Amino acid sequence: MPIADEWHSALALTGTSNLEPSEVHQRLLALTEQAVAILSAEAFDVEQARQIGARVAQLGYVQPEALGATLDVLGQQLHQLATANESSGPRLLKLLSGIATGFSEQARATARTEAEAARQRLGFLAEVSTQVAASLDLRTTLERVARAAVPVLADWCTLNIADPTGALQTETTAHVNPVQEELAKTMRQTYPRRQESGRSPAVQVLESGATRIIANVDDRLLEQISVDADHLQMWKALAPRAVMIVPLVAHGRSLGTMSLIMTDDSGRSYAPADRALAEDVGRRAAMAVENAQLYTQTEQAVRARDEFLSVAAHELKTPVTSLRGFAQLTLRTLNQNGQIDVERLKRALKVVDQQSDKLTRLVAQLLDVSRVQSGKLALDRQDVDLSALLVDLVASIRTQSDKHELRAVIPPEMRAKVDPLRIEQVLTNLLDNAIKYSPDGGAVDVELSSSNDDPASVVISVRDRGIGIHAEDRERIFERFYQADVGSYHGAGMGLGLYISREIVDLHGGQIRAEFPEDGGSRFVVTLPRR
Ligand code: ADP
């Protein structure tokens, strides 16, 4: 077996090199030739002998066993080659001792460099941690992470965060070169991510949660991710060369991505060690992003609660004021002449009845919310004829408004196993809203039918032609305390009805959703399983 082969096999038993095996083999072949040349040269060159040792260590085989293997193989093989030559014994010893010295020096130097690199990485991570922990504001946090990553990890770094719909938005861009940074930002403003067709590498990383390294960014990739010729031009001017995209994952959730980019200007690329470091930064950034998002949500929740308290106080006060007013008025009339006008008394008592009913319902809603939150909202399911329930309900709502035309399509009988009081509560809420949010009157359609998609379910829909719901509010109307246009629409309640309704329908194993017909108004659709 040729010397280089045997040497390679012996080294391979002691560890691995970062280089391809064929490359290692090539280099060992050259070193073997060098060793033979040293032995047969006229004057012994100790420096060259040391270099052989140093090169072995530079291949990545730095452990003492690698030196042992080297001395062993070279000692035996070169000894056999050189037995013909009398003076070769002492020379071979000198060669091996030179190799040992060179190897040890290089191994020590490598260890020092690695320790220094590790120290720098730790320092860098500590710096990132301090930076991201210093603020609870999402933008500030992201800006700091991006700035910290440049130039240690990248020439150009962008941080992208998934919005509530799951789409990636570029939030921050940092570049070693301020001019290029401007160009990168302009490119993102002109071509926002959402306009990009197909799935960009960043979107793939967000979905898979796995880091991706693109070692060689070529024109084909740039063409793929460009929207048009100008976009491609910008990409080319920015000259990305190598890219590493790290997911920002906190508690198992992908919150966004960090793109680390090396450009043609620096000519740097990514080594395997960079990946672990980048992922570490990604994890820290993700925790900070999660904290900032939670903080924002908490702030919103506190604001919503405060708004709710003032709305609830106002809502409760209105019927109380009205109750007091009529009670006082009646008392005054009584006091003046001791007589009472029966008609007036009837009217006053009717108002008292209505307002106490309203008060009772508001208090019941508040109690329901606390039941939902403590998980104590329970159902009393019975076999119920939903047709009869709905007919009665529509009749009672009809008496409350003469501006609205209630049109009902209800089959003679349709039974389901539900809690009748709770389902009545849901439907009353939907019908009340339909009336309340169509102040100019108009038709309200109520329909009960079998589900087309699932014969084991029934569908109840309530459609009005009222003020409708703005697109930006649609997502949130089922949230607790949520009211579209708080305060601006007189007659809105506490923003609890739909929240409680959804909880009740969920408990039944059904679904409630809102639809927004093209010709205005709203349609609420409840689907309930029959059993
Ligand atoms: P509220 O007691 O305020 O009516 P809900 O939970 O029943 O509370 O409704 C939440 C919000 O959804 C309302 O404040 C209103 O903005 C909107 N909304 C509900 N139903 C309708 C509807 N039929 N038409 C227009 N907006 C509606």
pLDDT along the chain (531 residues), means of 10: 89 86 93 92 92 94 93 91 68 94 95 87 87 86 91 93 86 94 94 72 91 92 90 95 96 94 91 87 92 90 86 88 90 80 87 90 91 91 97 92 93 96 96 94 95 93 94 87 62 83 96 94 96 90
Helices (H), 83-164: 88-133, 138-149
Check if 437 has its Cβ closer than 6 Å to any atom of ligand 1.
yes
Distance, CA of 4 to CA of 31 (rounded, Å): 8
Per-residue pLDDT at 340:
80
Indicate left, alpha or beta for 381 from its phi (over 0: left) and psi (-120 to 50: alpha). Answer: beta
For ligand 1, atom 12: residue with the closest CA? 477
Distance, CA 383 to ligand 1 centroid (Å)? 30
State the amino acid at position 14 in one-letter form.
T
Beta-carbon neighbour count of residue 226 at 10 Å? 19
For ligand 1, atom 23: residue with the closest CA? 434
Ligand 1 pocket test target in 314, 463, 477, 496 with most atoms within 8 Å of CB: 477
Distance, CA 494 to ligand 1 centroid (Å)? 9
Check if 477 has its Cβ closer than 6 Å to any atom of ligand 1.
yes
Check if 522 has its Cβ closer than 6 Å to any atom of ligand 1.
yes
Distance, CA 150 to ligand 1 centroid (Å)? 49
Residues listed for the chain: 531
CA 421 to mean position of chain CA atoms: 40
Check if 282 has its Cβ closer than 6 Å to any atom of ligand 1.
no
Check if 495 has its Cβ closer than 6 Å to any atom of ligand 1.
yes
Check if 62 has its Cβ closer than 6 Å to any atom of ligand 1.
no
Distance, CA of 121 to CA of 128 (rounded, Å): 10
Per-residue pLDDT at 15:
87
Nearest to 444 by CA among 429, 460, 426, 431: 431
Per-residue pLDDT at 197:
58
Angle, vertex CA 14, rays to CA 9 and CA 19, nearest 5: 70
pTM: 0.60
Distances in whole angstroms, Cα of residue 51 to Cα of each of 2, 35, 164: 21, 10, 60
Check if 434 has its Cβ closer than 6 Å to any atom of ligand 1.
yes
Q: Rounded to 10 degrees, what is the CA torsion of 501, 502, 504, 507?
A: 170
Per-residue pLDDT at 147:
92
Distance, CA of 91 to CA of 45 (rounded, Å): 10
Per-residue pLDDT at 489:
54
Per-residue pLDDT at 85:
60
Give the sign of the dihedral formed by CA 104, CA 106, CA 107, CA 108.
positive
The number of the ligand 1 atom at minimal distance from the alpha carbon of 498 is: 6
Distance, CA of 272 to CA of 276 (rounded, Å): 7
Give the sign of the dihedral formed by CA 104, CA 109, CA 113, CA 116.
positive
Indicate left, alpha or beta for 485 from its phi (over 0: left) and psi (-120 to 50: alpha). Answer: left
Per-residue pLDDT at 83:
63
Distance, CA of 274 to CA of 65 (rounded, Å): 28
